[in-house]
Amino acid sequence: MNRIRVLLADDHAILRAGLRLLLEREPDFVVVAEAGDGRAAVESLAREPADVAVMDVAMPGLNGIEATAQIARQYPKTAVIMLSMHSDEAYVLRCLRAGARGYILKESAEHELIAAMRAVVAGKSYFSPKVKRLLREDHVARLERSGSADRFELLTSREREILQLIAEGNSNKEVAARLFLSVYTVETHRKNILEKLHLHGPADLILYAVRKGMVV
Amino acid sequence: MGWNMRRILIASLGGLLLMIAATGAAALLVFQRLEAAEAAQRTSLLDHSTWMRRVENGILLSGTLARDYSADPNGAEAPALLARISQVETETRRAMAQSSGIEEELRGEVGAYWQVLDFMLEMARKRASPGVDAYFRRELAERRESMLQVAAKIGRALDSEWRQGEARLAALYRRLRWILGAEMALVVGLGLVLSVGAARRLLLLEGETRSLSAQLQRAQEEERRSIARELHDEIGQAMSRIVLDVGRASKLTESPAVRLQLAAISESAERTVEAVRRIALSLRPSMLDDLGLVAALEWQAREVGNRTGLDVEVCAEDSAGEMPDAQRTCIYRVTQEALQNCVRHADASSVRLGLTKGDKSVTLRVQDNGKGFRTARTRGLGLLGMEERVARLGGRMRLRSEVGRGTTLTVELPL
């Protein structure tokens, strides 16, 4: 059986060691490389290809977000999971825009890291429940404060269905297959959804779905 | 302002005042002297002319009396006339003696006149004959002529005396003008030197103060950043590791009591992580360094919103926040202060934060819908601090507010 190859990038050796211990308990994971900063992480992928990169957000030199953006461009087959101490949406959004597929808090890594890795390897997204909860609460609070209408109401039921599937990590092609539609139609729906919600790209779309509680 | 500066200012201003007072006093003194000189001149001239006139009158009178006497030297009136002439002579001589200013030449001439007169009177008394009479009358006419010349000479002397006095006074006036002018020039010159010196020193001190306060603020920001990092990285990460390890440990044991204990440890470690995170963020938000200015502003907006219910909308592209650290920190801190003002004073329900970047500058706009205030009157310490921060980076801060129509703060920083 092919084991899942993992790259660990965190500038704190003590935490890296902890994560390594955690992964060694799982027979289907193997840590192929460790890196202490973003640049080392990107460089190590050239020598040791990995399926998943576990990336600390704040690192010296090239930080985790910039490293993620480079990995997403150069090694699209490597899924990046951000490991962060921040549950704030500013961090989540920028990590998603950089191309991260998962976002988990360091404090809950023990419980969630394995599940997150399995999810992103399967092509789905993963967020710490606490992050999801905070994003949702924040969204609701903001809607209440500004008193503006929830733009979600503007979506048709078909658009909501497509939004849900995209947020779960399905590609346009997969969505088209699930709903018996043409890829072209899915693409059009997708554009309409972005327009109606005033969103700018796939990262915003996923974040929006998380805020709405659509990503489980 | 330092002790040194105060001393310099007091000394220079005091010196200037003293000099002005001295000039005034000197001018008064000179005027007084001038007045006295003028009065003295007038009095002496008046005296002079009075005495001169007496001498002149004496001579005229003596001439007339002498002619009367020579007309009849042996008549009944003759002794009385002689006595009168000698009285006039005595008076005239006294007047001559008192009038000190009369030239020696005139004195001599008048003296000679009296000698001739005396001699001739003596002759007239001793040898009264028609021949002597005729000689005497001729001599008398000559003396009259000479007397008229003397009188004219006296008049001319008086005139020239008067003109000399006038010239002396004019010279005195010229000297006064010159002295006053020189003193004025000295005061103005010294005042100029003093004020330029004081102003230069003041500017220097102000610049020093400014650079010192800039250094202080930079040091404070750096300190905050390093403490926040340290807290976050060292304590935060170590706590995360504890949570990880405790979790793994609890899987290794079957004992429910131990598991309970471990769960408690884990929970308290998680709370510590949260506290450390909060403290670190309040010192300096890590977003400012990790994610950039716009993310930090968005975070700030959300924090203020969650804490106070103020609806803060951020309108900025991520790229608008790309700038050097000093400018980034400045904009962030100014925004922080502005939002705090909106919450504390403005009574606003919503705020729009706009950040736009041009070729050479970046502009921040904070616009609220609060009650506004009179910008000319109210100027708190917070606003001063903001202005100071902005000015230090060569930027400009504008505040537009009207009572009842909200407040707009605009900050422009050169890049």
Q: Please check whether residue A19 touches B, CB under 8 A.
A: yes
Residue A140 lies in a domain: no
Residue B382 lies in a domain: yes
Q: Please check whether residue A73 touches B, CB under 8 A.
A: no
> Strand pairing partners for B410?
B365, B398
Residue A134 lies in a domain: no
Angstroms from A47 CA to nearest CA on chain B: 27
Domain that holds residue A164: 149-211
- The rounded distance, in Å, linking the Cα atoms of A94 and A204 is 9
Q: Is A19 in contact with A109 (CB distance < 8 Å)? A: yes
Tell me how far CA of residue B251 lies from CA of A16, A21, B248, B257, in angstroms: 20, 13, 5, 13
Residues A124 and A168 in one domain: no
**Which residue of A21, A63, A107 is in closest CB contact with B273?**
A107
Q: Do B236 and A85 touch (CB under 8 A)?
A: yes
- The rounded distance, in Å, linking the Cα atoms of B236 and B229 is 10
Closest residue of B to A23, CA-based? B248
Residue B220 lies in a domain: no
CA dihedral sign of residues A36, A39, A42, A48? negative
Angstroms from A156 CA to nearest CA on chain B: 27
Residue B395 lies in a domain: yes
Tell me how far CA of residue A14 lies from CA of A42, B229, B334, in angstroms: 21, 17, 38
Q: Do A22 and B296 touch (CB under 8 A)?
A: no
Helices B293-308, B325-341: axis angle to 10 degrees equals 20
Angstroms from A160 CA to nearest CA on chain B: 26
**Which residue of A93, A110, A145 is in closest CB contact with B309?**
A145
Residues A91 and A34 in one domain: yes
Closest residue of B to A106, CA-based? B240
Q: Do A22 and B244 touch (CB under 8 A)?
A: yes
> What is the per-residue pLDDT across B361-382, written as a single tens digit (0 to 9) for each?
999 999 998 888 776 666 666 7
- The rounded distance, in Å, linking the Cα atoms of A36 and A27 is 25
Q: Tens-digit pLDDT profile for chain A (216 aa)?
A: 588 999 999 988 888 988 898 898 889 999 999 999 899 999 999 999 999 999 998 887 788 999 999 999 999 999 999 998 888 888 888 898 888 989 999 888 888 899 999 999 988 889 998 888 888 887 888 777 777 777 888 888 888 889 888 888 788 888 899 889 898 999 999 999 888 888 888 888 888 888 887 776
DSSP symbols for B165-226? HHHHHHHHHHHHHHHHHHHHHHHHHHHHHHHHHHHHHHHHHHHHHHHHHHHHHHHHHHHHHH
Q: Is B66 in contact with B124 (CB distance < 8 Å)? A: no
Q: Do B237 and A12 touch (CB under 8 A)?
A: yes
Residues B191 and B302 in one domain: no
Residue B258 lies in a domain: no
Q: Could you tell me which residue, B138 or B202, shows the higher pLDDT?
A: B202
Residues A81 and A168 in one domain: no
pLDDT at B49 over 90: no
Residues B186 and B322 in one domain: no
- The rounded distance, in Å, linking the Cα atoms of B288 and A88 is 13
Angstroms from A55 CA to nearest CA on chain B: 14
Q: Is B372 buried (19+), middle (13-18) or exposed (0-12) by CB count in 10 A?
A: buried
**Which residue of A14, A85, A94 is in closest CB contact with B232?**
A85
Considering B146, B168, B198, which residue would you say is the last residue of a domain? B198
B411 three-state secondary structure: strand
Mean pLDDT of B334-339: 91
Q: Is A71 in contact with A53 (CB distance < 8 Å)? A: yes
Closest residue of B to A19, CA-based? B244
Considering B135, B165, B198, which residue would you say is the last residue of a domain? B198
Strands B407-414 and B396-401: antiparallel
Measured between beta carbons, which residues in chain A are less than 8 angstroms from residue B284?
A: none
Interface pTM (ipTM) of the complex?
Answer: 0.73
Position A119: which residue type? A
Residues A38 and A91 in one domain: yes
pLDDT at B136 over 70: no
Q: Do B305 and A12 touch (CB under 8 A)?
A: no
Q: Is B173 in contact with B82 (CB distance < 8 Å)? A: no
Mean pLDDT of B8-19: 79
- The rounded distance, in Å, linking the Cα atoms of B395 and B48 is 83
Which residue in this structure is represented by tokens 């670190």?
A: B280
Residues A172 and A98 in one domain: no
Angstroms from A15 CA to nearest CA on chain B: 6
Q: Could you tell me which residue, A157 or B121, shows the higher pLDDT?
A: A157
What contacts A55, CB < 8 A, 6 or more positions away? Answer: A9, A10, A38, A41, A64, A67, A68, A80, A81, A82, A83, A100
Residues A117 and A176 in one domain: no
Residues A188 and A105 in one domain: no
Angstroms from A51 CA to nearest CA on chain B: 23
Residue B10 lies in a domain: yes
Q: Do A90 and B291 touch (CB under 8 A)?
A: yes
Give the pLDDT band (50/70/90) at residue B143: low
Residues B185 and B315 in one domain: no
Tell me, what CATH number does B105's domain have? Answer: 1.20.120.1730
**Which residue of A25, A58, A141 is in closest CB contact with B290?**
A58
Residue A78 lies in a domain: yes
Measured between beta carbons, which residues in chain A are less than 8 angstroms from residue B296?
A: 90
Residue A118 lies in a domain: yes
SS (H, E, C) B277-311: HHHHHHHCCHHHHHCCHHHHHHHHHHHHHHHHCCE
B408 three-state secondary structure: strand
Residues A181 and A121 in one domain: no
* CA-based nearest residue to B121, from B150, B79, B60: B79
Residue A138 lies in a domain: no
> Strand pairing partners for A33?
A7
Considering B136, B164, B198, which residue would you say is the last residue of a domain? B198
Mean pLDDT of B154-166: 79
Measured between beta carbons, which residues in chain B are less than 8 angstroms from residue A141?
A: 305-306
Distance of CA A94 to the CA centre of its chain: 10
Closest residue of A to B281, CA-based? A86
Tell me, what CATH number does A115's domain have? Answer: 3.40.50.2300
| Segments in B231-290 forming alpha helices (H) | 237-252, 256-283, 286-290
Residues A122 and A159 in one domain: no
Residue A160 lies in a domain: yes
Tell me, what CATH number does B334's domain have? Answer: 3.30.565.10
Residue A86 lies in a domain: yes
Angstroms from B406 CA to nearest CA on chain A: 17
pLDDT of residue B346: 80
pLDDT at B69 over 90: no
Measured between beta carbons, which residues in chain B are less than 8 angstroms from residue A57?
A: 290
Residues A44 and A77 in one domain: yes
H or E element that contains A181: none
Tell me how many domains chain A contains: 2
Tell me how many domains chain B contains: 2
Q: Do A22 and B248 touch (CB under 8 A)?
A: yes
Residues A119 and A12 in one domain: yes
Measured between beta carbons, which residues in chain A are less than 8 angstroms from residue B277?
A: 85-86
**Token pair for A21:** 């211990």
Considering A94, A128, A162, which residue would you say is the last residue of a domain? A128
Mean predicted lDDT score pLDDT of chain B = 82
Residue B261 lies in a domain: no
Q: Give the long-range contacts of residues B140-148, CB within 8 A, separation 24 or more.
A: B140/B63, B140/B66, B140/B67, B140/B70, B143/B63, B143/B113, B143/B116, B143/B117, B144/B63, B146/B109, B146/B113, B147/B59, B147/B60, B147/B63, B147/B113
Size of interface A-B (CB pairs under 8 A): 92
- The rounded distance, in Å, linking the Cα atoms of B133 and B127 is 9
Measured between beta carbons, which residues in chain B are less than 8 angstroms from residue A12?
A: 233, 237, 241
Residue A53 lies in a domain: yes
- The rounded distance, in Å, linking the Cα atoms of A173 and A187 is 9
pLDDT of residue B409: 92
> What is the per-residue pLDDT across B232-284, written as a single tens digit (0 to 9) for each?
878 888 888 888 888 888 888 888 999 999 989 988 988 888 888 888 888 88
Q: Is A128 buried (19+), middle (13-18) or exposed (0-12) by CB count in 10 A?
A: buried
Residue B236 lies in a domain: no
Residues A118 and A154 in one domain: no
Give the pLDDT band (50/70/90) at residue B57: confident
pLDDT at B198 over 70: yes
pLDDT at B101 over 60: no
Domain that holds residue B185: 3-198
Lowest mean pLDDT among B136-145, B164-173, B340-349: B136-145
Strands A52-56 and A4-9: parallel
Residue B404 lies in a domain: yes
Q: Is A26 buried (19+), middle (13-18) or exposed (0-12) by CB count in 10 A?
A: middle
